[in-house]
């Protein structure tokens, strides 16, 4: 005698148990891995958000040690192989595809102590180049090309509405090209590109 399974038991077995997978029964029955990719991507997003939080904490520690001033930013091709920026890069490509970062040589690294937090797991280009993030323009102001000097914390207006660091994507499909972000805040001022 063969046991007959209810439709609920069959669906639970095919969908990988109780993983909270959304979708109709037939889709999960024919493709049980659809749920796993969604769960994996949510894990990557969480990891990226955690990385940004750690970078934010490193930025605040840096500012405490440097008279309440954010780190400097280097811009475009002029910053190649120059020390003094929050991240160091040895190759620059305006699309971001061929930029090369060595975050361990950047001024922020002693406060972060991990090169892994500079790369979002979902950012394929960032994994290759060594950095996924940009430092928003609210953190720097006066520029003498290629250096843009870190802004004082007290100069940042409406701090709770400003984005300090973000997963950068200045070109669709690419990552950041030089670690210097475009200007935006949560009140809709500026153009905000949150990247990958």
The count of structural domains within the chain is 1
In the structure, what pLDDT confidence band is assigned to residue 103 with cuts at 50, 70 and 90?
very high
Does residue 24 sit within a domain?
no
Residue 15 counted as domain residue: no
Decide if 134 is inside a domain.
yes
In a domain, 37, yes or no: no
Query: What is the predicted pLDDT for the residue at 108?
Result: 93
* List of residues 6+ apart from 97 with CB closer than 8 A: 125, 129, 171, 174, 175
| The predicted structure's pLDDT at residue 116 | 92
Positive or negative CA dihedral for 18, 20, 26, 27? negative
Determine, yes or no, domain membership for 39: no
Does any domain span residue 169?
Answer: yes
Q: Is residue 17 part of a domain?
A: no
How far is it, in rounded angstroms, from Cα 44 to Cα 97?
21
- Residue 18: the pLDDT is 44
Average pLDDT, the chain: 75
- Domain assignment present for 74: yes
Domain residue limits at 109: 51-196
Interstrand relation of 100-101 and 147-150 (parallel, antiparallel or unpaired): unpaired
Q: What digits encode the pLDDT tens for the residues 125-170? A: 888 888 888 887 778 878 888 888 998 988 887 777 777 777 665 4
Neighbours of 173 (CB within 10 A): 11
Q: Over 80: is that where the pLDDT of 11 sits?
A: no
pLDDT value of position 164:
76
Edge-first strand order for the sheet with 147-150 is 73-74, 147-150, 140-144
| Cα distance from N-terminal residue to C-terminal residue, the chain | 54
């Amino acid at each position: 005698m063969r046991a007959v399974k209810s439709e609920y038991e069959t669906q639970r077995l095919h969908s990988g148990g109780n993983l909270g997978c959304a979708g109709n029964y037939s889709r999960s029955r024919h493709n049980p891995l659809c749920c796993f990719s969604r769960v994996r991507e949510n894990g990557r997003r969480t990891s990226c958000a955690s990385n940004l939080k750690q970078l934010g904490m490193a930025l605040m520690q840096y500012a405490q040690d440097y008279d309440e001033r954010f780190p400097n930013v280097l811009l475009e091709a002029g910053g190649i192989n120059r020390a003094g920026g929050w991240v160091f890069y040895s190759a620059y490509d305006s699309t971001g595809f061929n930029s090369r970062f060595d975050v361990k040589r950047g001024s922020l690294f002693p406060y972060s102590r991990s090169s892994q937090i500079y790369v979002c797991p979902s950012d394929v280009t960032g994994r290759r180049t060594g950095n996924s993030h940009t430092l928003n323009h609210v953190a720097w102001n006066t520029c003498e090309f290629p250096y843009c000097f870190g802004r004082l914390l007290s100069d940042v207006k409406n701090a709770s509405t400003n984005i300090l660091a973000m997963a950068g994507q200045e070109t669709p499909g690419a990552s950041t090209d030089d670690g210097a972000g475009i200007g935006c805040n949560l009140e809709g001022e500026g153009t905000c590109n949150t990247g990958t």
